[in-house]
Structure 1
Amino acid sequence: MTEAEQAGRPTGTTGTTGPAGANGATAVGEKNEPRGRRRIAVLLAVAAFAYLLDLGSKLFVVAQLEHHDPVQVIGTWLQLDVIRNRGAAFGIGEAMTIVFTVIASAVIVVIARIARKLYSLPWAIALGLLLGGALGNLTDRLFRSPGGLEGGVVDFIATPHFAVFNLADSAIVCGGFLIVILSFRGLDPDGTVHKD
């Protein structure tokens, strides 16, 4: 019988208690599981907020502002001007609407895969913004005229010398920017930090 067995401790432990000691792996595992669920809940909450805000804004501007002159919010620096965009930013690729629909769907699948190992709050927020934005524009692709996978996305925020965009686009850009920052800082979705 080993000394660890004589002392009543499991073999292979250091003899200390807590997360780093006896049954440390189990304790850490038990802590990570609920922490992971909380991060997924944050991801879903951020995604739902971004999606509903985008959807509500589009319903409002289509009902109130479409087929009207642009509304000046801050002079010519910020206007509300409703357009239907079947392409990407700046109207690029209007003949490739289905491709953009497939890309948006792929982004959603990738986020779902990453979410399985999500333990980082900043990553949950970033992925939530991406997911909400992608779902917002995908909804337009699926359900707006002409229908199918070729619907035009409702864009309405107009600034000088820039593309007309919507809140879904803003969420996607903010989420992508946050992911770039997290990647440069070495923070992974599972909460670990790596140094190159």
Structure 2
Amino acid sequence: MPRHRAARVLIAGLAVVLLAIDQATKAWAVATLDPSDPPSYLGGFLTLRLVRNPGAAFSLGSSATWLFSLLAIAALTYCLFVLAPRITSRGGAVVTGLAIAGIAGNLIDRIVRPPGVMRGHVIDFLQIPHWAIFNVADMCIVATAILVVLGAIREAVVERRQKQAAATP
């Protein structure tokens, strides 16, 4: 299978599976969790606390939900139609698939959930100590950011080594 095609299959497969997990876990959380009685696991390390978040991380920008929706549409469009077709590496495909799943997962909430289209609140339900309450889509977005930073560091190290090797007689 050509590299472009293999990368596209990996991007699509990863994005679809992670998006399905995100939406299924959010549906489960809404149907099952009682916001007034959140269960805790792992000695209190993980609490399943259902919240409907109109903003971004840490509920920042709660009055700008429509703006987050527009930004997500722009980011998803870029990932699907500009970035994904250019990806040839497995690592790039993983990062792109994670990004698409994360962006789409929270965008779906903003489109279909109350209080209305482009203003919907994102379902968050995973809470660990000293951190914002989050969901699977958020985990995908954070993993994307971490992998992009690690890739940039790796690339800088390789480039520095190449320059050193070229300068050494």
Structural RMSD (CA): 1.6
Aligned counterpart for 1:69 among listed residues 37, 46, 50: 37
4+ residue runs over 4 A deviation: none
| Alignment partner of 1:195 is 2:159 | yes
Structure 1 SS opposite 2:123 = strand
Contact 1:108–1:131 (CA under 8 A) maintained in structure 2: yes
When normalised by structure 1's length, the TM-score is 0.76
Distance between the aligned counterparts of 2:46 and 2:135, measured in 1? 13
Secondary structure (helix, strand or coil) at the match of 1:155 reads strand
Report the counterpart of residue 106 of structure 1 in structure 2. Answer: 74
Aligned length: 158
What does residue 13 of structure 1 align with? none
Structure 1: 5+ residue stretches without partners: 1-30, 188-193
State the match for 2:8 in structure 1: 40
- Structure 2, unmatched stretches of 5+, are 161-169
Deviation of the 1:182 alpha carbon: 1.5
Greater RCO between the two (CA within 8 Å, min separation 6)?
Answer: 2
Deviations 1:129-156 (A, max 9, x none): 0100110000000000012100000000
Q: Which moved more, 1:95-104 or 1:134-143?
A: 95-104
Which of the pair is proportionally richer in helix? 2
Give distance in 2, aligned partners of 1:117 and 1:158: 36
Question: What is the aligned partner in structure 2 of residue 53 from structure 1?
Answer: 21
Note the 1:10-159 alignment, pairs <5 A. Answer: 34-112=2-80, 113-159=82-128
Structure 1 residue 68, shift from structure 2 partner: 4.2
Question: With structure 2 as the length reference, what TM-score do the two structures score?
Answer: 0.88
Q: What is the SS of the residue equivalent to 1:70?
A: coil
Q: 2:152 corresponds to which residue? A: 183
Please identify the structure whose Cα radius of gyration is greater.
1
Q: Which amino acid aligns with 1:49?
A: V
How far is the alpha carbon of 1:73 from its aligned partner? 1.4
